[in-house]
Amino acid sequence: KNEVEQSPQNLTAQEGEFITINCSYSVGISALHWLQQHPGGGIVSLFMLSSGKKKHGRLIATINIQEKHSSLHITASHPRDSAVYICAVTGGSNYKLTFGKGTLLTVNP
């Protein structure tokens, strides 16, 4: 079974700072997902990637398959980025997601 570890668990930043959230997994995967959960509880899918790098607005996700590691970066952070960021992986033909415990990000104005 894949183990998914995220760091840090909690992160507080000032508006405008560059943010990095890390995710490591123990077994080879076919895809890695980054999700955002707002205080109300709803979850939004940010990225799904299996190699390289993806960018959407101020968000950048990278993955290193050899090192079994992914990072989510937020440039020019804003208070509205405050949320829980969750990493999840799928492996091979098994499309079930295995989730990390999440990183709580708070961006102060």
Partner 1 sequence: DGGITQSPKYLFRKEGQNVTLSCEQNLNHDAMYWYRQDPGQGLRLIYYSQIVNDFQKGDIAEGYSVSREKKESFPLTVTSAQKNPTAFYLCASSSDRGPNQPQHFGDGTRLSIL
Binding site residues, partner 1, CB under 8 A = 4, 30-31, 33, 35, 40-45, 48, 50, 86, 88, 90-102
Closest CA to 22 of 75, 87, 107: 87
Minimum Å gap between C-beta 38 and partner 1 is 9
Please say which residue, 41 or 57, places its beta carbon nearer to partner 1.
Answer: 41
Please say which residue, 55 or 101, places its beta carbon nearer to partner 1.
Answer: 101
Q: Which two tokens stand for residue 40?
A: 């109300």
Minimum Å gap between C-beta 76 and partner 1 is 25
Q: What's the number of CA atoms in the CB half-sphere (13 Å) around residue 16?
A: 1
Amino acid code (one letter) for 108: N
Q: What's the number of CA atoms in the CB half-sphere (13 Å) around residue 3?
A: 2
Minimum Å gap between C-beta 4 and partner 1 is 7
Neighbours of 82 (CB within 10 A): 16
Please say which residue, 6 or 77, places its beta carbon nearer to partner 1.
Answer: 6
